[in-house]
């Protein structure tokens, strides 16, 4: 019998901080403003800074660090 409990499709899609909680805020790499979000940030999310208006696509490294690419 196979154990399917150890694999979860959402594990690689949602970013988690060092404490293991979902990430619900981010710092803009352009203006360094903190931007809270209602939903947890997931891989390939498109984010817009509430202060400077720049837009980014976010991805997560293997260690859970957020990487931003300006759109």
Average pLDDT value for residue range 4-15: 48
Distance between CA atoms of residues 6 and 33, nearest Å: 37
Decide: 44 and 56 in contact? Cβ < 8 Å. no
Give residue 64's pLDDT: 84
Distance between CA atoms of residues 66 and 47, nearest Å: 12
Give residue 46's pLDDT: 96
DSSP string of 6-50? T--GGGGTB-B-TTSPBP-EEE-TTT--EEE-SSPPBTT-EEE-T
Domains of the chain, by residue range, sit at: 16-70
19-70 pLDDT, tens digit per residue, is 567 899 999 999 999 999 999 999 999 999 999 999 999 999 988 899 999 9
At the topology level of CATH, where does 16-70 sit? Rubrerythrin, domain 2 (2.20.28)
């Amino acid at each position: 019998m196979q154990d399917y409990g150890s694999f979860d499709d959402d594990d690689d899609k949602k970013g988690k901080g060092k404490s293991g909680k979902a990430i619900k805020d981010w710092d803009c790499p352009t203006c360094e403003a903190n931007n809270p979000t209602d939903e947890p940030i997931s891989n390939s999310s498109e984010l817009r800074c509430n202060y400077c208006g720049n837009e980014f696509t976010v991805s997560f490294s293997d260690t859970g660090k957020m990487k931003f690419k300006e759109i």
